[in-house]
Structure 1
Amino acid sequence: MGFCVKFVFHTLIEFLKDKHYRSLLGASIGILFGGALVYHYLEGWSYLDSLYFAAITLSTVGYGDFSPQTDLGKLFTIIYIGIGVGLILAFINAVYKHFQQVSREYPNVIKGKKKQ
């Protein structure tokens, strides 16, 4: 395997060993799929369309091809953005910090040295 592939694989394994990171990942996935279920029932969209809209909303891309039509769907979206974007940003920040830490330690990992 190339250096980059080994580094990415090592980073992912180390990331998933940490309970805090796993919790953030689980919460991010949960809010994504939870939002999709709410949109499915409130707006009557297919599961795929609901998941697509939830992902686009949380990524703040907002293509505009879907939007909630019901008042309850619009109200949910306001709350969903506030909570969801904050959670996704916390997850991205955790990944970034972990990546920085591992990239500082990785040369020692390659040589078989332990963290001190």
Structure 2
Amino acid sequence: MIILRTILSFLRDKHYRNLLFATITVLVIGTVTYHYLEQWTWLDSLYFSIITLTTVGYGDFSPQTDWGKIFTIIYIVIGVGLILTFINTVYTHFKNIPQDHFHHKN
């Protein structure tokens, strides 16, 4: 229920909404590009996009094609700041919600 409320509050706020859509767009671009350049499944492509942009980088996948490597360089430079801004925004949003909001009794 908290996740649904958070998503709805993000969609109501123009700044959050724009950040959410930009983040989704970057992840979709990465997923589609890796799917076609590296011939990975859709799930593997999404997984790699997320772990790359969150700087986790488990190392279980890496681009093998030259175009995949070039795209990854550009993708990281453009996307890491955006994803980290999104994560920080979500963190700040939850940090600023009063604790009694989470324990609301009906």
Query: What TM-score comes out, normalization by structure 1 length?
Result: 0.74
4+ long deviations beyond 4 Å: 7-12
Query: Hey, what's the Cα distance between the residues in 2 that align with 1:9 and 1:36?
Result: 25
- Percent identity between matched residues is 62
Q: What residue ranges of structure 1 are gaps of 5+ in the alignment?
A: 111-116
CA contact (8 A) 1:68 1:74 kept: yes
Q: 1:29 aligns with which of 24, 33, 50?
A: 24
CA apart distance, 1:89: 1.2
Cα displacement string for residues 38-87 of structure 1 (whole angstroms, at most 9, x for unaligned residues): 01111111111111111111121111111101111101101111111100
Q: 1:66 aligns with which of 58, 61, 68?
A: 61
CA apart distance, 1:100: 3.6
Aligned to 2:34: 39
Query: Hey, what's the Cα distance between the residues in 2 that align with 1:83 and 1:26?
Result: 15
**Aligned residue identity for 2:17:** R
Structure label with greater radius of gyration: 1
Helix, strand or coil at the partner of 2:63: coil
Q: What residue ranges of structure 2 are gaps of 5+ in the alignment?
A: none
Aligned residues: 103
Query: Hey, what's the Cα distance between the residues in 2 that align with 1:96 and 1:75?
Result: 31
